[in-house]
Amino acid sequence: MHPVMCGKLEKRLNMKRRRREEEENEIEKKRQGSSNMSSHAPGTSPSTGSCTSTNNTGQTSLRAATCTRTNNTASFTSLYTMGAQLGEGGCGLVYAGTRRADGKQVAIKYVTTNFSKKLLKIPGESQPLPLEVALMEIVCRPPACSHVIQLLDWFEEADRIVLVLELPSPCLDVSKFTKQLGGYMEESLARFVLRQVLRATMHCQDRGVLHRDIKSQNLLIQTDDLHVKLIDFGCGDLLKEAPYTHFAGTRPFQPPEWVMDGEYHGRPATVWSLGVLLFAMVCGSRPFKGEQDIIAADLYFKEGLSNECKNLIRWCLQRDPAKRPVLEQILHHEWMTR
């Protein structure tokens, strides 16, 4: 992008960011006063009420509590129309779609059963659900988080699962958005984005869910107001205290303890991925090229980066997971509160 155009875009985004920051500060105040969700079992919350129903045709439909319920015996194609392909991941394809009842624009994600064999029984459900569906139901139950994409509906077909998701508009994933800015973000914008990602991550972990694939491609940013949403729970699992012995996620984001020992704990591994994300946003590239780089954990920063920002990145990317901060410490780090 031409420097003049980039400067104008940055100025416009800063104005939007300041407006959004005022709203986010109010949300944070409310969050601080809310009850700790981690005291509830996975899939439960202070709010009651199930969001699922099973139809009579063997096709399962899940709807958010705030959505208008339609005929549960209807098929997917009678409820939604499908549009252009939006993206493709390791677990399936995503298309634009429209809800016939009211014209609402949605995202439709197809996941083959090869990637969704694991089932999870959660409170409030009579039958086990496909893992990705169960995790999304847990994090989407009221009170929901505006920084986590919402599951509106789902269907189980013979060889695949169909997820109907909220579709923010206009939006880009953070990777594409950053490219439009010239390849990296100014610190103020990166801080604003990371703050929202932290809130999404904290919400998920408060609900007992580990995302396991936090990266710029799994973050949508609305280009009109810079609101960020975490997407794609296809690599997720329930959060547990015991170590994980299977890596699910993106290889450049794998923590050194996995590379060296073949296991990792969910919380410090998440912090590592946030450090990689922050580095990429402010420096324009990922910090490590391969496993040896990950183990060495040597960092080479872009010129002009503030000491506070470099300090936070180094803290998140400590080779020893016990020395990394927890999410609350990141949120209150001096760079985050500037």
Side chain identity at residue 163, one-letter code: L
Instruction: Give the list of residues 6+ apart from residue 175 with CB closer than 8 angstroms, or none.
Output: 215, 216, 217
CA separation, residue 78 to residues 1, 75, 146, 175, 289 (Å)? 43, 5, 29, 35, 47
Secondary structure class of 121 (helix, strand, coil) = coil
Alpha helices in 181-225, H assignment, sequence order: 187-206
So which residues are the catalytic ones? 213
Specify binding-site residues.
86-94, 109, 166, 173
Structure tokens at 327: 């999410």
Residue ranges of the binding site for ATP = 86-94, 109, 166, 173
Token pair of 30 as six digits: 């409310």
Which residues, 6 or more positions from 276, have their beta carbon under 8 angstroms from its beta carbon? Answer: 215, 252, 253, 286, 287, 288, 317
Q: How far apart are CA 158 and CA 76, in angstroms?
A: 13
Q: Are 322 and 268 in contact (CB under 8 A)?
A: yes
**Cβ contacts of 142-145, under 8 Å, gap ≥ 24:** 142/45, 142/47, 142/49, 142/65, 143/34, 143/45, 143/46, 143/47, 145/199, 145/200, 145/203, 145/204
